[in-house]
A and B are shown apart, each in its own frame.
Chain A
Amino acid sequence: MKSTFQLRYWNHINGWLLVLPAVFMIGLFTHYPIGANIFHSLFSMGTVTRPEVFTGLENYRYLMDDDIFWKVLKNNLVYSMCTVPASISIALGMALLINRNIKGRSLVRMSFFTPTVLPMIAVANIWLFFYTPEYGLFDQVFAFFGGDSHNWLGNPNSALYCLIVMVIWKEAGFFMVFYLAALQQLSPELKEAGLVEGSGGWYYFRRVTFPLLMPTTLFVMVNAVINSFKLVDHLIIMTKGGPDNASSLLLYYIYENAFSFWDTSYAATLTVVLVFILAIITIIQFTVVEKRIHYR
């Protein structure tokens, strides 16, 4: 017989052995690179002839003066502030529609969800053509109404918004699914009580459905914000951040610096900023979202 002490000892060992492989891998590809990024951001870029040199906060000083960085950061904020609320409200609308007993609802649900299973690259290819001047779908529709041809993606004023429209289309169906799940968990009795009490439609939505969906909204919002910082596949196909960085986003700028300009030190510096932004979102998530009111 093992003693209690031994049993407890074994519990520790077994627990650690079980989690160790995964923890090691996560450490290697998440925590180590965070540290390494910070470390490398303090050095100058080494070349074949010149080794990298410790430069302290030099890279950060450069960053503060880098107009492109500020432009990209602003782009990313605009991008997040447009895609997140729009895709969330469309997702909620879709979920409410599908939750009703309408004809052909599984078909409608399928079409809402379809963009979610498509690769961003494929989606970008299709939409690239929509935005093609003269031949593209948008210009054809405009031409039908007597409009002029637009260089949608070639115009610095519209390029970013073209991406935004596409991303909303791509993501709304994904977020809809979470709302659907939440709606299914609402007790039908509440809806009936609402009917008896005379609160149909808008009043019921505003006073009951929407507040009860708040935890889902917060969850979806955090995911949407993170996505808006980590998903830049479409830029590579559609605009390459252009014209004149008008549609560039932070992660794309990092990619460009690291793999087009081969300035890994500056890319590391930018990554530190991105990680910092994500860390702030994480903190908000843990302080606001996790401490949300638990009703039941």
Chain B
Amino acid sequence: MSIISLKNIYKSWGDTEVLKNINFECEDGELLVLLGPSGCGKSTTLRLIAGLEIPTSGIVEIGGKDVSDLPPVKRHISMVFQNYALFPHLNVAENIIFGLKARKIPKKEQKKRLENAADLLGLTDFLDRKPSQLSGGQRQRVALGRSIVAQVSVCLMDEPLSNLDAKLRQEMRQEIRSLQQRLKMTMVYVTHDQVEAMTIADRIILINGGVIEQHGTPEELYNYPATAFTGSFIGNPPMNILTPDTQLLQACPSILLPSVDFTAPYLLGIRPEDIEISSDSGMECLVELTEYLGADTLIVCKVEKHSITLTVKGRVAVSAGDQLRINWKVEKIHLFDAANGQRIEHLKGATP
């Protein structure tokens, strides 16, 4: 059963349209990530679900009920903010049960839920502290605690990890994921970090310029990018997107190219990890720079004026200025329509 559903949502700030015809559903118990570059409208989408913003048109449903006219508190949601929104003058315990008090939940129940949440999050020893006396990770946990004690069906998270350092971010990511699965929470999670999205999500909605680019599981987004944008946004280093011109078509053996008529405008997408170095076949290119990353090496090379990035396992003995032959399997090529960026299937029988 879908617990959240957005139907034909439009949102404008004055004359600028920030969301255009947004439609999606989020299933019960699912962790749905709203992913996209900054300013794409993903946070606005989340705030529309929360009721902190009102759509210009369209309907927001939570639990099968139209909540478009309801204030945040009546939507039975909880929310974790980017800067945690902890009240600086209240201690950890008071912060966690702030909403319960506001809603006049009985004291005994408050205490029970608080103990339960503090236990889950390892905050039991910190309940008397003020937010200013906590580390970033602990503050994050308090914000999570507020969500947990609310015992509501939906938890909304707005870039919850963006203020943490890289190591802590990874830890908290895993913790949030395991908590979500243990408590069977439905979570809508906003981030601009594609790695975070790929690792944590059941499904991802990729938003760009106020429209949904693609909606699917992390595997679907990686293997079958619906648009050139998705292809270049998901994956690290990003997918090479080449605009085939006569020079490239001449340099590239036709066996490496899909059998389409290149007089029409196409874009060729190939992931760096799908390219390999070959000794005899493939395309000639000139190494421009190499970056040794430990587990693998990143090589940037040039064919005429096209730049192609590839990654190879381990250390490779090439350096800038070397000539290199590169090779790939033609089925690894993602073909897009240059006019609108849409994916075109060029292999028979391949369906996403």
Direct contact between A and B judged by beta carbons closer than 8 A: yes
Contacts A196-B79, A199-B98; is A293 near B72 (CB within 8 Å)?
no
B297 CB-CB contact with A under 8 Å: no
Which among A187, A198, A200, A211 has the greatest number of chain B C-beta atoms within 10 A? A198
Interface string of B71-109 (1 = CB under 8 A from A): 111000111011101011110000000110111000000
Which among A190, A196, A197, A207 has the greatest number of chain B C-beta atoms within 10 A? A196
Interface size on A, residues (CB 8 A): 23
Question: In the complex the two chains form, what is the Cα distance from A126 to B73 in whole Å?
Answer: 50
* Chain A residues with CB below 8 A from B89, complex form: 208, 211-212, 214, 293, 295
* Chain B residues with CB below 8 A from A204, complex form: 102
B132 CB-CB contact with A under 8 Å: yes
* Chain A residues with CB below 8 A from B81, complex form: 189, 192-193
- For chain B, the bracket of interface size reads 20 to 34
CB of A196 within 8 A of CB of B73, answer yes
* Chain A residues with CB below 8 A from B52, complex form: 192, 195-196
Which among A195, A197, A293 has the greatest number of chain B C-beta atoms within 10 A? A197
B130 CB-CB contact with A under 8 Å: yes
Of the candidates A187, A203, A214, A296, the one whose C-beta lies within 8 Å of that of B85 is A187
CB of A296 within 8 A of CB of B79, answer no
B50 CB-CB contact with A under 8 Å: yes
CB of A295 within 8 A of CB of B130, answer yes
* Chain A residues with CB below 8 A from B88, complex form: 212, 295-296
Closest Cβ–Cβ distance, residue B186 to chain A (whole Å): 15
Closest Cβ–Cβ distance, residue A240 to chain B (whole Å): 47
B203 CB-CB contact with A under 8 Å: no
Closest Cβ–Cβ distance, residue B150 to chain A (whole Å): 8
B146 CB-CB contact with A under 8 Å: yes
Question: A195 — nearest CB in chain B belongs to which residue?
Answer: B72
CB of B103 within 8 A of CB of A193, answer no
CB contact list, A209-224 vs B, under 8 A: 211-212, 214
Of the candidates B71, B82, B132, B150, the one whose C-beta lies within 8 Å of that of A295 is B132
Contacts A193-B79, A203-B102; is A198 near B73 (CB within 8 Å)?
yes
* Chain A residues with CB below 8 A from B50, complex form: 192, 196
* Chain B residues with CB below 8 A from A214, complex form: 89
Question: In the complex the two chains form, what is the Cα distance from A267 to B294 in whole Å?
Answer: 85
* Chain A residues with CB below 8 A from B82, complex form: 189
* Chain A residues with CB below 8 A from B51, complex form: 195
Closest Cβ–Cβ distance, residue A188 to chain B (whole Å): 9
Of the candidates B72, B83, B130, the one whose C-beta lies within 8 Å of that of A196 is B72
Question: B82 — nearest CB in chain A belongs to which residue?
Answer: A189
Contacts A211-B89, A295-B88; is A198 near B103 (CB within 8 Å)?
yes
CB contact list, B203-231 vs A, under 8 A: none
* Chain A residues with CB below 8 A from B79, complex form: 192-193, 196
Contacts A193-B79, A196-B78, A296-B132; is A208 near B72 (CB within 8 Å)?
no
Of the candidates B72, B83, B98, the one whose C-beta lies within 8 Å of that of A207 is B98
CB of A190 within 8 A of CB of B85, answer yes
Of the candidates A187, A194, A198, A211, the one whose C-beta lies within 8 Å of that of B83 is A187
* Chain B residues with CB below 8 A from A293, complex form: 89
* Chain B residues with CB below 8 A from A199, complex form: 73, 98-99, 102
* Chain B residues with CB below 8 A from A190, complex form: 85, 87
CB of B102 within 8 A of CB of A189, answer no
* Chain B residues with CB below 8 A from A295, complex form: 88-89, 130, 132
CB contact list, A253-296 vs B, under 8 A: 293-296
Question: In the complex the two chains form, what is the Cα distance from A199 to B90 in whole Å?
Answer: 15
* Chain B residues with CB below 8 A from A200, complex form: 71, 73
CB of A189 within 8 A of CB of B72, answer no
* Chain A residues with CB below 8 A from B99, complex form: 196-199
* Chain A residues with CB below 8 A from B102, complex form: 194, 197-199, 203-204, 207
CB contact list, B101-152 vs A, under 8 A: 101-103, 130, 132, 146, 150
Closest Cβ–Cβ distance, residue A160 to chain B (whole Å): 38
Question: B89 — nearest CB in chain A belongs to which residue?
Answer: A211
* Chain B residues with CB below 8 A from A194, complex form: 102
* Chain B residues with CB below 8 A from A193, complex form: 79, 81, 85, 87, 146
* Chain B residues with CB below 8 A from A187, complex form: 83, 85
Interface string of A131-153 (1 = CB under 8 A from B): 00000000000000000000000
Question: In the complex the two chains form, what is the Cα distance from A214 to B101 in whole Å?
Answer: 22
Question: In the complex the two chains form, what is the Cα distance from A214 to B87 in whole Å?
Answer: 14
CB of A189 within 8 A of CB of B85, answer yes
Question: A295 — nearest CB in chain B belongs to which residue?
Answer: B88
Closest Cβ–Cβ distance, residue A146 to chain B (whole Å): 47
Closest Cβ–Cβ distance, residue B331 to chain A (whole Å): 48
CB contact list, B34-66 vs A, under 8 A: 50-52
Question: In the complex the two chains form, what is the Cα distance from A197 to B85 in whole Å?
Answer: 11
CB contact list, A81-137 vs B, under 8 A: none
* Chain B residues with CB below 8 A from A197, complex form: 73, 78, 98-99, 102-103, 146, 150
Closest Cβ–Cβ distance, residue A101 to chain B (whole Å): 14
Closest Cβ–Cβ distance, residue B199 to chain A (whole Å): 26
CB contact list, A15-74 vs B, under 8 A: none
10 A-B residue pairs with Cβ-Cβ distance under 8 Å, sorted by A, are A187-B83, A192-B81, A193-B81, A195-B51, A195-B73, A196-B52, A198-B102, A199-B102, A207-B98, A212-B87
Interface residues, chain B, CB within 8 Å of chain A?
50-52, 71-73, 77-79, 81-83, 85, 87-90, 98-99, 101-103, 130, 132, 146, 150
Contacts A189-B85, A196-B72, A293-B89 supplied; 17 other A-B pairs, CB < 8 Å = A187-B85, A189-B83, A192-B81, A192-B85, A195-B71, A196-B99, A197-B73, A197-B103, A198-B72, A207-B98, A212-B87, A212-B88, A295-B88, A295-B89, A295-B130, A295-B132, A296-B132
Closest 6 interchain pairs by CB? A197-B99, A198-B73, A295-B88, A199-B102, A193-B85, A189-B85
